[in-house]
C-alpha cells in the first residue's frame, strides 16, 4: 500500500479511537439522572411550552430528567386516561369554571371518579370528596361552614400535592381606546356585552378579531365552546348574571327567593321580553328550555343536576324544586347551558330534530347562514344574521329588545376568525379591529401604550395546573410530588412567560370565586427544600456542581455518529443514558 494511504488510515484510526476513549471516559464520569419524568402540554399554546421548558431546566438542576412533549388536546387526554402506570407524570392543563364557584375546580379536578375524566392525578380521597360535596350543598344556606369545609379540603390538596398550581392568568383583552363602557367579566371569558358599549361617534359596527374558530354548535342547550362570545349576553340571555364583583343580578328574572332548607327556589320573571321570533317570554318558556337542556344531557347541562323538577305557578313565576341545596341563582348565571330560548322551536319536532334545525350537521345550506335566520331563538339584543363556517359571524340588532335602543348603541357585531396573533395586533393598532385578545404577552405593553388601543388587564378565573400522576412511580410518593412543587420557578414564570399578566396560584381556586382562601399555604421556589425532600424519599439529588459536570459531559455528543454509543453502553453495563446526558431531546 502507498504511504499516503497508510498515513490516512492511521490518522483516521487515531481520531476514532481517541473519540471513543474520550466518550467512554465521559460516560463513566458523568452523573446519572436520578429519575425520568414525562410532562405533556398542549402543543398550540406557547405559554405552556415556555413553562415546560423552564421546568425542564430546573429539574435538571436536581438531576431529574424531564421529557417535555407537546401534544394535541385529545392525544394528551387519551394518554392520561389510559393505564395510569403508563400515563404521563405531569399533565399541564388550563381550567376555568362553568359553575361559578370554587366547587367547580374541586369537583372536576380532584373528586374521585370511577372512570377518570379530568381528575388526571388519579387522586382518590373519600375524605376530600365528602368535604367538598357537603360544602357545595351548604354554599347557599350556610356559607361560613361551607368555607371552612373548602378550606380543609384545599389544605388536604396542598399536603397531598396531587397537582402543581402554577398560576392564575389574567385576562388581557385589547379594545379600542375610543369605546366607552367595556367591563371585563372573568365569569364570562372573552365576552364583550356590545349592548352596554358606547361606540365612538359615527361608528355602528363592532369588529372582533377571534384567535380561534368561534362556532362549533349553535344549539343553546348543547353548545359548550367558543361560541360563548356571540351567544352569551348577545344572542341569548339567562335568568341571572354575575357581575365582575361577584354579585348576582337579575336579567330575565327580576327577583328570587328560596326556602329555608334551600330546596325550593322561586324566580319572578320580566314581563316585557320577546324572543327573536316575536314569541313573548314566560315561565313556560323557561321551564321548557331548562328541561330540554337537562334532557339532552350534553354540553354543560350538568349545572342543572341539583334540580328535581320545575313548575310554573304563574306565567311570570318559575319554581325550582331541588334534590339538594345549591346556590341556584349563581348556577342560573353560568356561562353555558343557562340560556332561555323560544318554545316555538318545539314545532320543529323532537330534541334531535330541533338540534338539527338550529345547527345542521351537514353544515349550513349554501355554506352560509344568512338573512332573518331561524337559527337563533334567543332574547338577546342581537340576532345571528350571517355565519360562514370557519370564517365570519355577523350579528345585527334586534329591534324589539326589552332593554330598548335609546342612546348610542352598536347595531352590528362582526366577528372574524384571524388566526395570526401578529395580524390581530396589527389590526387593532391600525384601527381596523375594535376588540381582540390572545396577543403575544410581550406585545401587550406596546399596544397599551399606543393611542389607539388599550389593554384591559384583570384577573380571570382561569388557572394553569400540572396534575401529578399519583399512581405511577416515582410521582406516587408524596415527598417526590412536594419536591416537584418546590422546584417550580414561580416568579420567573410570571415574569418571563406571563410578562406580569398573572399571579402565582393560591391553591386550586382563583381569587374572586367562592372558596378562595387568600392565605392558603403555597409552595415557593426552593431547590434546597426540594433536595431535602428527595433525599428523604430515598433519592440522591444532584448538587449544583454535579449538574455542571453533566453540562461538561455534553462533549460526549462530539461526533454525531456516537449516538449509537449509548445503546452499546446500555447493553454492556445495564445503564441507559438518554441522549444527551441529563436531558433528553425528542430527536
Site for other proteins in 563-582 (CB under 8 A): 580
Rank residues 363 and 404 by Cβ distance to other proteins and give the closer one.
Answer: 363
425 binding other proteins? (CB under 8 A): yes
Q: How many residues bind other proteins (CB under 8 A)?
A: 78
CB of 266 to other proteins, least distance (A): 29
Rank residues 80 and 269 by Cβ distance to other proteins and give the closer one.
Answer: 80
Q: Are 145 and 137 in contact (CB under 8 A)?
A: no
Footprint (CB under 8 A) of other proteins, residues 180-209? 205, 207
316 binding other proteins? (CB under 8 A): no
423 binding other proteins? (CB under 8 A): yes
Pick from 180, 285, 271: nearest CA to 236 = 285
Please name the residue ranges forming H helices in 30-172: 46-62, 73-81, 102-110, 126-138, 143-160
CB of 323 to other proteins, least distance (A): 18
Rounded Cα gap, residues 182 and 191, in angstroms: 10
Residue 489, C-alpha cell as written in the block:
420557578
Which range, of 28-36, 50-58, 134-142, 232-240, touches other proteins by CB under 8 A?
50-58
Q: Are 546 and 63 in contact (CB under 8 A)?
A: yes
427 binding other proteins? (CB under 8 A): yes
Query: CA separation (Å) from 410 to 90, 181, 199, 381, 434?
Result: 46, 12, 6, 10, 12
Rounded Cα gap, residues 261 and 325, in angstroms: 7
Rounded Cα gap, residues 401 and 430, in angstroms: 33
Candidate residues 3, 4, 5, 115; the one interacting with other proteins per rule CB under 8 A: 115
Q: Are 564 and 579 in contact (CB under 8 A)?
A: no
Footprint (CB under 8 A) of other proteins, residues 348-367? 359, 361-364, 367
Q: Are 266 and 328 in contact (CB under 8 A)?
A: no
Rank residues 10 and 422 by Cβ distance to other proteins and give the closer one.
Answer: 422
CB of 89 to other proteins, least distance (A): 18
Rank residues 99 and 153 by Cβ distance to other proteins and give the closer one.
Answer: 99
Footprint (CB under 8 A) of other proteins, residues 474-513? 489, 492, 495-496
From residue 131 to residue 170, the character string flagging contacts with other proteins as x (rule: CB under 8 A) and all else as - is ----------------------------------------
Rank residues 268 and 432 by Cβ distance to other proteins and give the closer one.
Answer: 432
What are the residues whose beta carbons fall under 8 Å from the beta carbon of 515, sequence distance 6 or more? 101, 102, 103, 105, 106, 135, 146, 147, 150, 154, 509
54 binding other proteins? (CB under 8 A): yes
Residue 133, C-alpha cell as written in the block:
360535596
Footprint (CB under 8 A) of other proteins, residues 446-465? 446
Footprint (CB under 8 A) of other proteins, residues 370-409? 389-391
Query: CA separation (Å) from 448 to 146, 454, 496?
Result: 41, 4, 18
Candidate residues 57, 156, 370, 517; the one interacting with other proteins per rule CB under 8 A: 57
Candidate residues 148, 152, 386, 443; the one interacting with other proteins per rule CB under 8 A: 443
Footprint (CB under 8 A) of other proteins, residues 509-568? 551, 554-555, 557-560
How far is C-alpha 80 from the chain's CA centre?
17
What are the residues whose beta carbons fall under 8 Å from the beta carbon of 375, sequence distance 6 or more? 218, 357, 358, 359, 369, 384, 387
72 binding other proteins? (CB under 8 A): yes
Rounded Cα gap, residues 52 and 55, in angstroms: 5
Rank residues 4 and 572 by Cβ distance to other proteins and give the closer one.
Answer: 4
CB of 424 to other proteins, least distance (A): 10
Crossing angle between the packed helical segments 478-486 and 527-536, to the nearest 10 degrees: 170
CB of 377 to other proteins, least distance (A): 20
Q: Are 106 and 515 in contact (CB under 8 A)?
A: yes
83 binding other proteins? (CB under 8 A): no
Rounded Cα gap, residues 467 and 464, in angstroms: 10
Rank residues 362 and 451 by Cβ distance to other proteins and give the closer one.
Answer: 362
Footprint (CB under 8 A) of other proteins, residues 206-225? 207, 213, 216-217, 224-225
Rank residues 134 and 298 by Cβ distance to other proteins and give the closer one.
Answer: 298
Candidate residues 156, 178, 421, 527; the one interacting with other proteins per rule CB under 8 A: 421
Instruction: To the nearest 10°, report the CA torsion of 561, 563, 566, 568.
Output: -50
Footprint (CB under 8 A) of other proteins, residues 89-108? 98
CB of 356 to other proteins, least distance (A): 11
What are the residues whose beta carbons fall under 8 Å from the beta carbon of 148, sequence distance 6 or more? none
Pick from 233, 200, 156, 559: nearest CA to 395 = 233
CB of 503 to other proteins, least distance (A): 18
Amino acid at each position: 500500500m502507498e504511504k499516503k494511504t497508510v498515513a490516512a488510515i492511521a490518522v483516521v484510526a487515531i481520531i476514532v479511537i481517541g473519540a471513543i476513549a474520550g466518550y467512554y471516559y465521559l460516560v463513566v464520569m458523568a452523573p446519572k439522572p436520578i429519575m425520568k419524568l414525562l410532562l405533556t402540554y398542549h402543543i398550540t399554546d406557547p405559554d405552556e411550552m415556555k413553562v415546560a421548558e423552564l421546568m425542564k431546566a430546573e429539574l435538571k438542576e436536581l438531576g431529574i430528567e424531564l421529557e417535555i412533549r407537546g401534544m394535541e388536546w385529545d392525544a394528551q387526554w387519551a394518554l392520561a386516561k389510559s393505564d395510569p402506570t403508563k400515563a404521563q407524570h405531569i399533565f399541564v392543563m388550563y381550567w376555568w369554571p362553568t359553575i361559578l364557584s370554587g366547587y367547580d375546580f374541586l369537583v372536576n379536578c380532584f373528586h374521585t371518579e370511577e372512570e377518570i375524566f379530568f381528575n388526571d392525578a388519579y387522586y382518590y380521597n373519600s375524605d376530600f370528596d365528602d368535604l367538598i360535596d357537603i360544602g357545595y350543598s351548604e354554599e347557599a344556606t350556610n356559607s361560613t361552614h361551607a368555607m371552612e369545609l373548602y378550606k380543609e379540603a384545599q389544605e388536604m390538596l396542598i399536603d397531598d400535592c396531587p397537582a402543581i398550581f402554577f398560576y392564575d392568568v389574567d385576562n388581557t383583552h385589547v379594545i379600542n381606546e375610543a369605546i366607552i363602557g367595556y367591563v371585563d367579566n372573568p365569569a364570562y371569558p372573552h365576552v364583550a356585552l356590545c349592548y352596554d358599549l358606547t361606540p365612538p361617534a359615527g361608528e355602528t359596527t363592532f369588529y372582533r378579531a377571534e384567535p380561534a374558530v368561534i362556532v362549533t354548535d349553535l344549539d343553546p342547550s348543547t353548545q359548550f365552546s367558543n361560541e360563548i362570545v356571540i351567544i352569551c349576553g348577545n344572542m341569548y340571555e339567562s335568568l341571572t348574571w354575575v357581575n365582575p364583583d361577584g354579585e348576582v343580578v337579575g336579567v330575565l328574572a327580576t327577583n328570587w327567593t328560596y326556602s329555608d332548607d334551600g330546596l325550593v327556589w322561586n324566580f319572578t320573571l320580566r314581563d316585557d321580553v320577546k324572543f327573536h321570533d316575536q314569541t313573548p317570554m314566560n315561565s313556560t318558556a323557561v321551564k321548557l328550555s331548562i328541561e330540554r337542556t337537562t334532557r339532552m344531557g350534553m354540553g354543560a347541562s350538568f349545572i342543572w343536576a341539583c334540580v328535581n323538577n320545575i313548575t310554573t305557578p304563574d306565567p311570570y313565576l318559575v319554581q325550582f324544586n331541588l334534590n339538594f341545596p345549591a346556590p341556584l341563582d349563581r348556577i342560573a348565571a353560568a356561562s353555558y347551558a343557562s340560556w332561555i330560548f323560544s318554545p316555538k322551536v318545539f314545532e320543529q319536532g323532537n330534541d334531535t330534530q330541533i338540534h338539527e334545525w338550529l345547527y345542521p350537521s351537514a353544515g349550513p345550506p349554501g355554506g352560509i347562514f344568512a338573512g332573518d335566520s331561524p337559527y337563533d331563538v334567543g332574547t338577546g339584543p342581537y340576532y345571528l344574521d350571517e355565519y360562514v363556517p370557519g370564517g365570519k359571524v355577523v350579528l345585527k340588532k334586534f329591534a324589539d329588545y326589552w332593554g330598548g335602543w335609546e342612546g348610542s348603541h352598536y347595531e352590528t357585531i362582526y366577528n372574524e376568525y384571524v388566526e395570526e396573533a401578529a395580524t390581530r395586533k396589527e389590526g387593532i393598532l391600525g384601527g381596523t379591529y375594535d376588540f381582540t385578545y390572545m396577543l403575544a404577552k410581550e406585545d401587550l405593553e406596546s399596544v397599551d401604550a399606543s393611542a389607539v388601543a388599550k389593554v384591559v388587564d384583570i384577573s380571570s378565573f382561569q388557572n394553569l395546573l400540572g396534575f401529578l400522576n399519583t399512581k405511577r412511580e416515582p410521582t406516587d410518593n408524596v415527598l417526590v410530588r412536594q419536591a416537584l412543587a418546590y422546584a417550580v420557578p414561580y416568579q420567573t414564570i410570571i415574569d418571563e412567560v406571563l410578562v406580569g399578566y398573572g399571579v402565582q396560584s393560591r391553591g386550586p381556586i382563583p381569587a374572586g370565586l367562592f372558596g378562595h382562601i387568600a392565605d392558603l399555604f403555597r409552595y415557593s421556589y426552593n431547590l434546597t427544600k426540594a433536595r431535602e425532600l428527595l433525599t428523604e424519599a430515598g433519592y440522591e439529588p444532584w448538587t449544583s456542581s454535579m449538574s455542571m459536570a453533566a453540562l461538561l459531559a455534553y462533549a460526549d455528543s462530539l461526533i454525531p455518529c456516537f449516538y449509537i454509543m449509548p445503546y452499546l453502553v446500555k447493553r454492556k453495563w445495564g445503564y441507559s443514558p438518554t441522549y444527551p446526558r441529563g436531558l433528553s431531546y425528542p430527536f
